[in-house]
Structures are given as structure tokens and as C-alpha cells.
Structure 1
């Protein structure tokens, strides 16, 4: 059986794909920033001397990491509606992505924090640094430097995971492809195009994160550490 590719009708729907790509970016960027911040706080909580805080943060991480993102999206979208809190599909998708990536960022950052030798912390305290200064200069920044490649990969995976939000009618890239293929009856061409779009977004995101790392981690660049 032969199949003749015809991208004409699919390419004519480029405004839909462009709008879908933009919405994907709008979901990915805030989810990455807020999710990383929340994940860092959770990592600090998991290393806290307070037993109840360690257990609470640990329970959150285990629940999120051991349940599918799609189920989490449904729980937020339909769960909040059941409780009488009406939120848009976009807001529900964004909250779900933040909740999800925070759990993974937590474990990555915790691994980085645990890699900091206790002697470095003790030396900083002997120099008279405050607890906040020790956490920022001796623990957080060096920890983030060490695990930055892993964080980069996780954030790219988050961007790709935005495709799941099409299940609650968020008009991102995958939803745009589904709409185009239903109108043109060219599913193969539509999804080939959207796969290329995701590949391009992934490459651009990796380049952007690499450039951020070059600016944020000057010591890493000077030492020539592997990225």
C-alpha cells in the first residue's frame, strides 16, 4: 500500500500551530520557575530537623512521583470544580504542572544539597556567615550548579508533558494537531508537523537554559566543569 504525503492543507493551518506553540510556552515557563522554587523549598523541608516537616514534604513527593500526571490534571480540574471552585482549563493545567515538577525538582535539589560536604558548612559558620548566607552561598547555589544538567532535562520533560493538558481542552500544540487532523483528515502529516515543533521547542529550551547556566554559574564556566 502506498501513501502520498500532502502537507498543503495542514500547513495552511499554521496559525493554529503557532497559537498552540505559544500556549505551550505560556504553560512551560511559569511552571518551570514556580515549580523549581517550590521544589527547592520542599528539598529544604526534607532536610529540616523538624520530623513532621520532613515527613510532610516526603509524603508530598512520594504521592506526586507515584501517580500519573494525567490523573493529577483531572484531580485539579474536576476536583476543584466539584468543590465549587471554578477555574479555567489553563489555570488547572498550570497548577497541575507546578505541583508535578515541584516534586521532581525537590529530589534533584535534595541530591545536590546532600552532596555539599559538612566541612564546608562548618567552615562558613566559623567565618561568621549567617544561616541565610550559609544556605545561599554554601548550599543552594553550589547544589544547583551540581544538579543543573538534571534540572535542565527535567524542565524539558515538563515542556513535553504539557501535551497531556490537551485532555482538558487546553489548546496547546497537541490539541492544535488534533483539531487540524480532524478538519483535514491528514493525521499523519499533522502529527509529524507537531513532532517537529516539539523538537524545535526542546532544542530552543535547552539552548536557553544553557545560556542561563553560563550567566548564573560563572565559577563553573571558569573551572571548565562538564555541563
Structure 2
């Protein structure tokens, strides 16, 4: 059985594919910024506070990490309108990605905070640092530096998981690929191209995160961010 590749047919829909690429990048960057910021806040609250606050943060992390991302998207997109909060597909995708990434970031940053040794905190107190200065310079920055490679892997996974958002009519790269496939019936060609695009996006994101890590934490952490591969959750 012979098969003739016709990638030229896919090239005719380059504007459609470029639109999907742009939305994938936009959703990924925004969710990384918002999700990591929320992760820092929640991990800090969990470490500083106890009792009810710690229980609520732990409950949020466990619920999000142990339920499918697709179900979370459906709750945001189909469930919120039942409460009178109607959002568009792109906004729902961003909310869902941020909520999901925030939970994973919280757990990763929590591990970094717990890895900070008590003598370092005591040294800060001996130097007359305020509680805020100790937490900022002695705890949170070194903690993030320790877990930065793991955070980068999670960011890449979130970018790849953006393809699931096509299930709620978000017109990102996977949705663009499905549209082109429905028009051309060249499934093999379009999904080979899309696979290569996702690979390029993942490598570009990892390289960009490595540059950010070099700027924030130095070359050693940046190299680790480039070499640690993302682990696909079971």
C-alpha cells in the first residue's frame, strides 16, 4: 500500500495554524505568570500560616492534582454559567490552566521552602534581618532556585496540556489542526507538522526559561532547567 505525502496542502492553511500557535503561546505565557505567582503566594501561606489556612491550601492542591484537567476545564466553562458567571472559551482556558498550574507550583515551591535549613534562618535573625527580609532573601528566593528546574518542567507540561483546551472550543494549535484536518483529510501530514510545532515550542520555552533562570539564579540552575525533562503524570 503506497501513500503520497502532500504537505503542500497543509501549507495552504498556514494562517489558520499561525493563529493557533499564537493563542497557544499567549495562553501558556499568561498561565505560567499567573500560576507561578499564585503558587508562590499559596506555598508561602501554607508555610507561614497553620490550621485552617494550611488545610485549605492542602485541600486545593490535592483536589486539583488528583482530578483530570479536562474536568476542571468543563467546570469552569460549563459550570460557571450556572452560577451566573459566563466566560468565553479563551478566558475559561486561561482560568483552567492557571488553576491547574497554581496547584502544581504550590506543591513544588513548598518542597523548596522545606528544603531551606533552619541555621540559614537563624543566621538571618542574628544579622538583624526583619521577618520579611528573612523570608524574601533567605527562604523564598533560595527555595525557588532549588526547585526551578522542576518548575520549568511543569511549565512545559502546561504548555503541552493547552491542547486539551480545544475541547471547550478554544481555537489554539490543536483546534487549528483539527480544523485543517477536517478540510483537507490529510491527517498524517497535519499531525506530523503539529507535532513538530509543539516540539519546537517546548524547546523554545525551555530555552527562554533557562535564560530567565540564568538572570535570576545563575548559570548552574539554568543548565539544570535545560536538561531536566518533564515527567508526564501517571
TM range (shorter): over 0.9
Name the structure 2 match of 1:185: 185
Bigger Cα displacement from structure 2, 36-45 vs 55-64: 36-45
Cα distance per residue 1:111-164 (max 9 Å; x no partner): 111000011001101211111111110011111111111011000000000000
- How far residue 222 of structure 1 moved from its aligned partner, in angstroms, is 7.5
| Residues in 2 aligned to 1:15 and 1:134: alpha-carbon distance in whole angstroms | 51
Name the structure 1 match of 2:53: 53
| Residues in 1 aligned to 2:215 and 2:64: alpha-carbon distance in whole angstroms | 32
- How far residue 224 of structure 1 moved from its aligned partner, in angstroms, is 9.8
- How far residue 226 of structure 1 moved from its aligned partner, in angstroms, is 5.0
5+ residue gaps in structure 2? 226-234
Cα distance per residue 1:67-93 (max 9 Å; x no partner): 000000000000111112111100000
Name the structure 2 match of 1:169: 169
Name the structure 2 match of 1:41: 41
| Residues in 2 aligned to 1:49 and 1:136: alpha-carbon distance in whole angstroms | 16
| Residues in 2 aligned to 1:74 and 1:223: alpha-carbon distance in whole angstroms | 37
Are the structure 2 counterparts of residues 49 and 168 from structure 1 closer, same or farther at C-alpha, using a change threshold of 3 Å?
A: closer
5+ residue gaps in structure 1? none
Contact 2:89/2:169 (<8 A) preserved: yes
| Residues in 1 aligned to 2:161 and 2:75: alpha-carbon distance in whole angstroms | 16
Q: Which runs of 4+ in 1 moved over 6 A?
A: 222-225
User: Residue 25 of structure 2: SS of its match in structure 1?
Assistant: helix
- How far residue 214 of structure 1 moved from its aligned partner, in angstroms, is 0.8
- How far residue 5 of structure 1 moved from its aligned partner, in angstroms, is 1.1
Are the structure 2 counterparts of residues 197 and 226 from structure 1 closer, same or farther at C-alpha, using a change threshold of 3 Å?
A: closer
| Residues in 2 aligned to 1:225 and 1:16: alpha-carbon distance in whole angstroms | 35
State TM-score, norm by structure 1: 0.95
Name the structure 1 match of 2:108: 108
| Residues in 1 aligned to 2:88 and 2:3: alpha-carbon distance in whole angstroms | 40
1:58-137 map, 5 Å = 58-137=58-137
State TM-score, norm by structure 2: 0.93
- How far residue 206 of structure 1 moved from its aligned partner, in angstroms, is 0.5
| Residues in 1 aligned to 2:224 and 2:126: alpha-carbon distance in whole angstroms | 31
Name the structure 2 match of 1:23: 23
Q: CA RMSD in A?
A: 1.5
Are the structure 2 counterparts of residues 115 and 81 from structure 1 closer, same or farther at C-alpha, using a change threshold of 3 Å?
A: same
| Residues in 1 aligned to 2:124 and 2:84: alpha-carbon distance in whole angstroms | 50
